[in-house]
């Protein structure tokens, strides 16, 4: 029966995360972007919210809360409302924890998940993207070859969040075995693995507070027990979970830009009245409000399908596409509402626009 209301637990989580994003993240977003660094105490405070630990089952030391893609989307949206780069950093450990929970063998879960239940932030990441224009997450150029009892990785990844600190990475590679057509497999790799070279920090237009690096794999050896299970459907499910989280983050950024522009337009006066009283501005703001709601409804639909263990490839794809386009349009309009002031770094809307530009390009930077 159709219902668009979060349950009580989800509402509580949303309110808690929203307060943190507004009170703790937002005031430090500009400085973090300028310095290219997120304050360590903010990361620890974010960790203490338990957004990662809570989804780990009790037997592995976590709180064992029921995990839901909708709840994950709610968390991602609210954090991203504060700041996208900081949200991605805080949620980066989920990039390993969620895939292991979903598709890991029991042995892998036992060895990996307890690490995410400690007192301190546990840096982890995913290496999904590759430095080429025609990158396709479902057909990585990074190759995985079987060699005796182990596998060898060769190739390159880019835009790996928290790559400077992550102790382990989820990696997406194409298994090439000479029998079947190459197909994507997900696996875990430790930072210290011989042959894995962590590259220099990347310099990006936005998300400047988030450290991203390249990874080079030079005949890098991984044992079979590090491979995730679930076959092609499992990989597609991971992709949908990434897309839902990124869609939710796009909602958060768009909502932030809308709120910022609305408040400015009500204050700023021209021709004897607030500019929000002019239809040219008011209609832009109305469109933003309408689209933020539409974006969220589409995102939740994909998440809802994932929570029912149904194939959500179509819904997640459409949500990601729609939210990426709309987040860009809305943040651009927010800059436009502020006019010249929007272009100046005293205001946050230019940061929202630079960050929102990333959504259409990103794959695997967050997971619901």
Question: Which residues are known catalytic residues?
Answer: 363
Which span sits near another protein by CB under 8 A: 45-53, 76-84, 99-107, 308-316? 308-316
Phi and psi (nearest 5°) for 303?
-65, -40
Please select the residue that binds another protein; options are 49, 152, 216, 289, rule is CB under 8 A: 289
Is 309 an interacting residue with respect to another protein (CB under 8 A)?
Answer: no
Closest CA to 16 of 44, 64, 49: 49
Cβ neighbors of 128 (< 8 A, separation 6 or more) are: 137, 140, 157, 170, 172, 242, 363, 364, 365
Nearer to another protein, 167 or 183 (CB): 183
Please select the residue that binds another protein; options are 141, 198, 216, 294, rule is CB under 8 A: 294
Closest CA to 95 of 66, 144, 55, 35: 55
Distance CA 353, CA 237 (A): 29
Is 282 an interacting residue with respect to another protein (CB under 8 A)?
Answer: yes
Q: Are 58 and 109 in contact (CB under 8 A)?
A: no
Place of tokens 């929102």: 356
Distance CA 242, CA 255 (A): 20
Distance CA 192, CA 166 (A): 10
Nearer to another protein, 168 or 247 (CB): 247
Number of residues that bind another protein (CB under 8 A): 52
Is 256 an interacting residue with respect to another protein (CB under 8 A)?
Answer: no
Which SS3 state, helix, strand or coil, does residue 99 take? helix
Which SS3 state, helix, strand or coil, does residue 152 take? strand
Is 183 an interacting residue with respect to another protein (CB under 8 A)?
Answer: no
Please select the residue that binds another protein; options are 111, 322, 332, 343, rule is CB under 8 A: 322
Is 141 an interacting residue with respect to another protein (CB under 8 A)?
Answer: no
Nearer to another protein, 38 or 292 (CB): 292
Is 285 an interacting residue with respect to another protein (CB under 8 A)?
Answer: yes
Distance CA 36, CA 162 (A): 12
Is 21 an interacting residue with respect to another protein (CB under 8 A)?
Answer: no
Nearer to another protein, 171 or 265 (CB): 265
Please select the residue that binds another protein; options are 276, 349, 351, 356, rule is CB under 8 A: 276
Is 6 an interacting residue with respect to another protein (CB under 8 A)?
Answer: yes
Nearer to another protein, 28 or 305 (CB): 305
332-360: string of b/e by CB count within 10 Å (b at 16+)? bbbbebbeeebeeeebbbbbbbbbbbbbe
Distance CA 212, CA 56 (A): 26
Nearer to another protein, 6 or 152 (CB): 6
Is 70 an interacting residue with respect to another protein (CB under 8 A)?
Answer: yes
Is 244 an interacting residue with respect to another protein (CB under 8 A)?
Answer: no
Going by DSSP bridges, is the β-strand pair 150-161/212-223 parallel, antiparallel, or unpaired? antiparallel
Is 233 an interacting residue with respect to another protein (CB under 8 A)?
Answer: no
78-93: string of b/e by CB count within 10 Å (b at 16+)? bbbbbbbbbbbbbbbb
For 27, 116, 148, 196, 352, the CA distances from 14, given in Å and listed in that order, are: 19, 22, 48, 38, 21
Is 7 an interacting residue with respect to another protein (CB under 8 A)?
Answer: yes
- Residue 134 CB, nearest approach to another protein (Å): 5
Nearer to another protein, 74 or 113 (CB): 74
Please select the residue that binds another protein; options are 224, 293, 344, 345, rule is CB under 8 A: 293
Please select the residue that binds another protein; options are 298, 328, 351, 362, rule is CB under 8 A: 298
Is 313 an interacting residue with respect to another protein (CB under 8 A)?
Answer: yes
- Residue 8 CB, nearest approach to another protein (Å): 9
Closest CA to 207 of 78, 296, 80, 364: 80
Is 22 an interacting residue with respect to another protein (CB under 8 A)?
Answer: no
Interface with another protein (CB under 8 A): 1-7, 10, 70, 133-139, 236, 239-240, 262, 265-266, 276-277, 279, 282-283, 285-287, 289-290, 293-295, 297-298, 300-301, 303-305, 313-314, 316-319, 321-322, 325, 360
């Amino acid at each position: 029966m159709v219902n668009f209301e979060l349950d009580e637990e989800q509402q509580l989580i949303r309110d808690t995360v929203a307060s943190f994003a507004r009170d703790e993240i937002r005031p430090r977003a500009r400085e973090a972007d300028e310095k290219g660094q997120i304050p360590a105490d903010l990361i620890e405070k974010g960790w203490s919210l338990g957004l990662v630990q809570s989804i780990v089952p009790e037997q592995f030391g976590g709180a064992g809360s029921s995990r839901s893609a909708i709840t994950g989307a709610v968390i991602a949206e609210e954090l991203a409302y504060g700041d996208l780069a900081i949200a991605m950093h805080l949620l980066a450990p989920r990039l390993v924890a969620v895939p292991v929970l979903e598709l890991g063998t029991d042995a892998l879960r036992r060895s990996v998940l307890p690490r995410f239940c400690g007192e301190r932030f546990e840096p982890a990441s995913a290496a999904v993207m590759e430095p080429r224009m025609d990158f396709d997450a479902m057909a990585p150029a990074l190759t995985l070859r079987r060699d005796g009892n182990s596998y060898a990785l060769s190739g390159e990844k880019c835009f790996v969040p928290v790559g400077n600190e992550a102790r382990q990475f989820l990696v997406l590679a194409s298994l090439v075995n000479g029998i079947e057509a190459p197909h994507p497999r997900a696996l875990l790799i430790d930072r210290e693995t011989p042959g894995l070279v962590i590259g220099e920090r990347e310099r990006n237009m936005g998300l400047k507070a988030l450290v991203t690096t390249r990874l080079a794999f030079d005949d890098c050896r991984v044992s079979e027990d590090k491979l995730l299970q679930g076959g092609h459907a499992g990989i597609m499910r991971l992709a949908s979970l990434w897309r839902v989280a990124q869609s939710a983050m796009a909602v958060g950024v768009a909502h932030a830009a809308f709120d910022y522009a609305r408040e400015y337009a009500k204050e700023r006066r021209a021709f004897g009245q607030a500019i929000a009283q002019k239809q040219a501005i008011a209609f832009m703001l109305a469109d933003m409000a309408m689209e933020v709601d539409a974006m969220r409804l589409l995102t939740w639909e994909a998440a809802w399908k994932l929570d029912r263990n149904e194939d959500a490839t179509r819904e997640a794809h459409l949500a990601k596409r729609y939210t990426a386009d709309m987040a860009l349009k809305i943040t651009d309009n927010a800059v436009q509402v502020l006019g010249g002031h929007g272009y100046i770094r005293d205001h946050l809307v230019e940061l929202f626009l630079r960050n929102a530009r990333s959504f259409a390009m990103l794959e695997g930077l967050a997971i619901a």
